[in-house]
């Protein structure tokens, strides 16, 4: 299976640069995962395609202001770090740029010494392990010094950093937002619950595994980096009951999907647990946990496009993307949404 099989041409003007004023005013394409039939909607009408008893699973991770820019103490070279994963004891995995200027024991200073990072290990692909040195509370310091780690295809400044958070973001630790959830407002979530749809949460801290590009020709040779996940007993119990009773489990986002599929693959049931996952879902994968997926439109040749193609088919997904381009849907993080589900195009 070739990475090039998942390529498509996207006009640059369709890459959403800013979020809409109202989150739930985004477009929504309903896609029947078996027939490929599509229907154009507005996201706030997602409620019409959800049934009483469905379980909607959202990722409640919270993005940290993970991009920090400082300078090496000795040479004053400008260094950018993107904090990816808390390894414990103030040690962090990060992407560093330019890594070639860093050496073991290099010290990088941020904000006139408010925060320092000591290099303790250099790995491949620009990944560096650093020990953070500071007084006080790290997240308060990052709020002062850091910026939201917006993807490189977004060139506009984000005026309100909360717009790169879901309205239900809770557990701090992500280097990127679970963007499918950006479309929900608190009012819409309440309406969904009022209809009898059950909302549950998992946590997956989005890191390198989700957004690292595929750089090998053979899809199966791509290596996913691990990301931390957890599921509560309350969520596990509800999902197990839904499975037994034949009720649908709808994942909001590829991160929720990967968490649910990881746990179901490991235990053959849902279970209160936590751990690290490097699950890579591409066509040929047999889904064990979810029945439908609410997601955004993803980058060409990305692991995320491969995942949605596995839930339906590569041909159906690329055809849906072609329709979305013709109809001027907005793409990527701040863009529009898609609901991939069985036999559900018509109300």
Residue 110 burial (C-beta neighbours within 10 Å; 0-12, 13-18, 19+): buried
Is residue 93 scored above 70 in pLDDT? Answer: yes
Q: Is 234 left (phi over 0), alpha (psi -120 to 50) or beta?
A: alpha
* Res 285: pLDDT: 97
* Res 209: pLDDT: 67
Cis check: omega of the bond before 238, within 30 degrees of 0: no
Across 119-144, average pLDDT? 96
- What confidence tens digit (pLDDT) does each residue in 226-285 have? 999 999 999 999 999 999 999 999 999 999 999 999 999 999 999 999 999 999 999 999
Across 144-156, average pLDDT? 92
* Res 345: pLDDT: 47
Q: Using CA atoms, how far apart are residues 163 and 185, in angstroms rounded to an integer?
A: 11
The whole-chain average pLDDT of the chain stands at 95
Is residue 23 scored above 90 in pLDDT? Answer: yes
* Res 291: pLDDT: 97
Across 127-150, average pLDDT? 96
Secondary structure in 3-state letters for the chain: CEHHHHCCCCCHHHECCCCCCCHHHCEEEEEECCCCCEEEEEHHHHHHHCCCCCEEEEECEEECCCEEEEEECCCCCEEEEEEEEEEECCEEEEEEECHHHCCCCCEEEECCCCEEEEEEEECHHHEEEEEEEECCCHHHHHHHHCECCCCCCCCCCCCCHHHHCCCCCCEEEECCCCHHHHHCCHHHHHHHHHCCCEEEEEEECCCHHHHCCCCCCEHHHCCCCCEEEEECHHHHHHHHHHHHHCCCEEEECHHHHHHHHHHHHHHCCCCCEEEEECCCCCCCCCCCCCCEEEEECCCCCCHHHHHHHHHCCHHHHHHHHHHHHHCCCCECCCCCEEEEECCCCCC
Across 123-138, average pLDDT? 95
Q: Using CA atoms, how far apart are residues 221 and 241, in angstroms rounded to an integer?
A: 37
- What confidence tens digit (pLDDT) does each residue in 288-345 have? 999 999 999 999 999 999 999 999 999 999 999 999 999 999 999 999 999 999 865 4
pLDDT band at 208 (very low <50, low <70, confident <90, very high): confident
Across 222-227, average pLDDT? 91
Across 151-176, average pLDDT? 93
pLDDT band at 346 (very low <50, low <70, confident <90, very high): very low
* Res 22: pLDDT: 96
* Res 207: pLDDT: 86
Q: Using CA atoms, how far apart are residues 290 and 6, in angstroms rounded to an integer?
A: 22
Across 188-217, average pLDDT? 92
Across 77-102, average pLDDT? 95
- What confidence tens digit (pLDDT) does each residue in 66-88 have? 999 999 999 999 999 999 999 99
Q: Give the β-pairing of 337-341 and 292-296.
A: antiparallel
């Amino acid at each position: 299976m070739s990475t090039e099989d998942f390529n498509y041409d996207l006009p640059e003007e369709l890459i959403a640069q800013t979020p809409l004023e109202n989150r739930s005013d985004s477009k929504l394409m309903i896609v029947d995962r078996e027939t490929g039939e599509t229907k154009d909607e507005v996201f706030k009408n997602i409620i019409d395609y959800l049934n009483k008893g469905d379980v909607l699973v959202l990722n409640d991770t919270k993005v940290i202001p993970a991009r920090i820019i400082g300078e090496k103490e000795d040479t004053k070279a400008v260094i950018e770090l993107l904090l990816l994963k808390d390894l414990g004891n103030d040690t962090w995995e990060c992407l560093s740029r330019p890594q070639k200027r860093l050496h073991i024991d290099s010290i990088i200073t941020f904000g006139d010494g408010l925060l320092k990072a000591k290099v303790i290990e250099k790995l491949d692909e620009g990944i560096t392990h650093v020990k953070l040195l500071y007084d006080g509370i790290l997240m308060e310091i990052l709020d002062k010094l850091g910026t939201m780690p917006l993807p490189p295809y977004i060139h506009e400044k984000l005026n309100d950093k909360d717009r790169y958070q879901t309205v239900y973001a809770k557990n701090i630790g992500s280097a990127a937002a679970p963007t499918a959830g950006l479309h929900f407002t608190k009012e819409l979530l309440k309406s969904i619950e009022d209809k009898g749809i059950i909302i549950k949460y998992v946590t997956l801290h989005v890191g390198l595994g989700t957004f690292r590009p595929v750089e090998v020709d053979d899809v199966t040779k791509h290596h996913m980096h691990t990301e931390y996940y957890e599921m509560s007993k309350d969520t596990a119990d509800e999902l197990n009951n839904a499975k037994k009773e034949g009720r649908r489990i709808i994942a909001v986002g590829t991160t929720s999907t990967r968490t649910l599929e990881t746990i179901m693959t490991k235990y053959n049931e849902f279970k209160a647990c936590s751990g690290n996952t490097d699950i890579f879902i591409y066509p040929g994968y047999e889904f064990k946990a979810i029945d439908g997926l609410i997601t955004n439109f993803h980058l060409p040749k990305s692991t995320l496009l491969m995942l949605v193609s596995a839930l339906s088919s590569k041909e159906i997904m690329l055809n849906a993307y072609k329709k979305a381009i013709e109809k001027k849907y907005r793409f990527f993080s701040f863009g529009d949404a898609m609901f991939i589900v069985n036999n559900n195009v018509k109300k």
